[in-house]
Structure 1
Amino acid sequence: MMIKTAMERIGIVGAGMTGATVASLLRADYPGSKLVVLDKGRGVGGRMSTSRSMKANSFSVDMGAQYISISEPYKERHGRFHKELITAGVLAPLRSDIEGNKSRDPTVTHHVAPQGVSSIVKHFLNQSGAELHTSEQIIQVDVKGDKVELTTESGERYQFDSVVLTMPVPQILQLQGTIADIINSKPEIKQKLEQVSYSARFAVGLFYNPNTKLSYTWGGKYIPEDPCIRFVAIENIKRGLNNPKLGPSVVVHTNGPFGLEHLEQDKNVMVPMILQHLRDVLPELPEPDEIKGHKWRFSQVHKPYEGSPGCVVLNEKPLIVLAGDAFSRSTMDGCIESALCTKDALQKIPLHKV
């Protein structure tokens, strides 16, 4: 069992949109600090993840967030982030048709990530220069003097001067160690954390080899009446890409009630059922060359933390901050808002030796 420690270390748990943006902001503010990002997944992105085929030579699929909607208030507040992503080619205007989209607000603009939605997260992570550890599930958080110690499922320990936790709130509430005592000692915060809720859904990616042609002209389609399926996207059309060397790919999302009803079912059990519903919705869809399923136990935030403060300082010395879209709203801009709140929290409470 190893204990990794160093001075001027900031630990960020969660390599999703909030964690990546926090890391990028802190790198600018604390250039001499050691930033470490840990995530339980095999890759980065969190709920903005992109999956690639192991068998078919096809476009990747966005298993989580599908496209980015930017509303008027955030265009000014977060304009520098949006401009940076567009200039870098990470974001591009959504030009394909999304059938059944109820959002008719002319002030809202929609964007796609041509290289997959996880490229947004990767952009900020790369910018941060943070040390990244994947497949590391944190199960325990302890205050040890002026340090915060994180223990992983494999028994490895990391020590930091400050820690930012960006995972879904139910996972924060499951953490062992002194963090549980700290939460219990703050009944108002504990109650608000326990009231946070999420929708659940399944996602299925279908991958095709280059010789397959799909007849659809839309990039995405909402399915309002189906008991199972909520949304289908043709990835290459959605992203406005045309590469004859890559086959098309399709992603299917179930609706909230279906996800909740089957939440405890294994994803591999659910995939055939979801595909049967998909055949009813799109009967002409050919058999894919590869299928991937994913269960989002914590999909979009259904009920955020009361007051949507952006972040919550759980402990001051050493600093433990709770962040993520649960403390703002379930959008890219909600994650940026939470990251900015976290940056402010760290600025107000001086870091040890940073």
Structure 2
Amino acid sequence: MSRVLIVGAGPTGSLCAALLRREKKDAVKITVWDKARGAGGRMSTYRPPDPSCHSADLGAQYVSVSPSYAQSHSSVYAELQSCGVLRPLDALIQGSQHRDSRDFVCPQGMSAISRHYLSQAGADLCFENHVTALYRSGASWEVHRKLGRSQSFDAVVLTMPVPQILQLEGDLEEMLSVQQREQLDGVVYSSRFALALFFGPDVSLSFPWVARYVSDNPCICYIALDSSKRNAVEPGCGPSLVVHTSVPFGLQHLEEDKEDVEPIILQELHRLLPGLPRPISIKCQKWRYSQVLTPVPDTPGQMTVHTEPLLVCGGDGFSHSNLDGCVESALSVLEVLKASL
């Protein structure tokens, strides 16, 4: 039985795990590690400690599907809709530029996409497992992590952001060709901050939109009444409001502590929405690697670093920064795994 480690429980890693299970059945042992506390990656959903508050999507806000991907990935969207993971977004998103796309929301939060596929994968799933190094050991990979003993695998799939792949210690660096290293060094991500405000059940927020793109503010570029955007009813829970900063603002404050940046964002938010009630709690998230601005050239979906034992890299850095990019990458990685295992 081949032992496969997938690093990253975001959309690419979770879909890859599910597809591999469907393809290989019981002929493969799949392990998924992620350094976060839960699934989703940059499509994560945060649930505040207070049970009277609605959860909030801190990363990706909704899924936009172009006509071409709606056709080529029709089985993906049919499955996610039939399971209730995706639902058409029918409310107004003010300032949206997706004229020809069809938009979907996740009533249970964006992380539900990854959670759905992980439930199908039959994988040994471990969170708060931060991979630090990869060493070749005969016909396998010895994978080190911050906490816990190292483990050996016959194949390793890396789906985290490209800069985090390049930070891994061990034998990866010397196995990259000059061209591969140049391609990985050329991948560029935007950076931003996200802020979620959680209100009590006695608070009612009403706007003419469920989400709004802001074009004339140096700090904030997007605001969403998250509970209304998802059209999700959590009985006894108050609304949640999500704010994303602009890319220039994120770059300007990237090296600052998020606790120091939070008051700046709040000040701008109150200028945009005067009279906003006082929240019960606030969650600030710094996305150092938010969206891919420049992927690997020609967007191959994956990069095979070594064949025996197999080491392959995937994720939106090898395609493009949306769910369809993650699907494309997962499909590309699957083909490599099928040919190798």
Assess same fold via TM > 0.5.
yes
Whether 1:64 and 2:59 are equivalent positions in the alignment is: yes
Q: Encode CA deviations 1:152-207: one digit per residue, 9 max, x unaligned.
A: 01252121110100000001111110111112xx0001000000010000001110
Any residues of structure 2 matched to 1:185-196 within 5 Å, and which? 186-196=177-187
In the alignment of these two chains, the number of paired residues is 340
Whether 1:322 and 2:313 are equivalent positions in the alignment is: yes
Residue 169 of structure 1: aligned partner: 162
Gaps of at least 5 residues in structure 2 are none
Cα drift, residue 58 of structure 1: 2.0
Using the alignment, how far apart are the partners of 1:97 and 1:241 within structure 2? 16
Q: Tell me the amino acid that sits aligned with residue 236 of structure 2.
A: K
Whether 1:12 and 2:3 are equivalent positions in the alignment is: no
Decide whether the 8 Å contact of 2:64 with 2:98 is kept in 1.
no
Q: Write out the 4+ residue segments of structure 1 that deviate beyond 6 Å after TM superposition.
A: none
Residue 312 of structure 1: aligned partner: 303
Cα drift, residue 236 of structure 1: 1.5
Q: Select which of 31, 36, 39 maps to 2:25.
A: 31
Using the alignment, how far apart are the partners of 1:243 and 1:148 within structure 2? 44
Cα drift, residue 241 of structure 1: 2.9
Whether 1:79 and 2:70 are equivalent positions in the alignment is: no
Whether 1:132 and 2:118 are equivalent positions in the alignment is: no
Cα drift, residue 266 of structure 1: 1.1
Using the alignment, how far apart are the partners of 1:101 and 1:318 within structure 2? 45
**Which stretch of structure 1 is more off in the superposition, 54-63 or 295-304?**
54-63
Using the alignment, how far apart are the partners of 2:83 and 2:209 within structure 1? 26
Q: Tell me the amino acid that sits aligned with residue 101 of structure 1.
A: S
**Which stretch of structure 1 is more off in the superposition, 233-242 or 309-318?**
233-242
**Which stretch of structure 1 is more off in the superposition, 240-249 or 222-231?**
240-249
Q: Tell me the amino acid that sits aligned with residue 79 of structure 2.
A: E
Q: Select which of 109, 112, 115 maps to 1:116.
A: 109
Whether 1:149 and 2:118 are equivalent positions in the alignment is: no
Q: Encode CA deviations 1:72-117: one digit per residue, 9 max, x unaligned.
A: 1111211101000000000000011100112222xx1000000000
**Which stretch of structure 1 is more off in the superposition, 146-155 or 246-255?**
146-155
Q: Select which of 210, 213, 216 maps to 2:204.
A: 213
Decide whether the 8 Å contact of 2:302 with 2:329 is kept in 1.
yes
Using the alignment, how far apart are the partners of 1:331 and 1:243 within structure 2? 27
Using the alignment, how far apart are the partners of 2:235 and 2:319 within structure 1? 41
**Which stretch of structure 1 is more off in the superposition, 301-310 or 215-224?**
215-224
Residue 94 of structure 1: aligned partner: 89
Residue 231 of structure 2: aligned partner: 240
Residue 285 of structure 2: aligned partner: 294
Decide whether the 8 Å contact of 1:23 with 1:130 is kept in 2.
yes
Change (3 A) 1:11 1:244: closer
Gaps of at least 5 residues in structure 1 are 1-6
Cα drift, residue 148 of structure 1: 1.0
TM-score, with normalisation over the residues of structure 1? 0.94
Q: What secondary structure sits across from 1:31 in the alignment?
A: helix
Q: What secondary structure sits across from 1:104 in the alignment?
A: coil
Change (3 A) 1:242 1:154: closer
Q: Select which of 22, 25, 28 maps to 2:16.
A: 22
Residue 337 of structure 2: aligned partner: 346
Decide whether the 8 Å contact of 1:56 with 1:290 is kept in 2.
no
TM-score, with normalisation over the residues of structure 2? 0.98
Q: Encode CA deviations 1:205-252: one digit per residue, 9 max, x unaligned.
A: 110111001121311000111010010100111012345521100110
Using the alignment, how far apart are the partners of 2:4 and 2:233 within structure 1? 42
Indicate the percent of aligned positions where both proteins have the same amino acid. Answer: 45
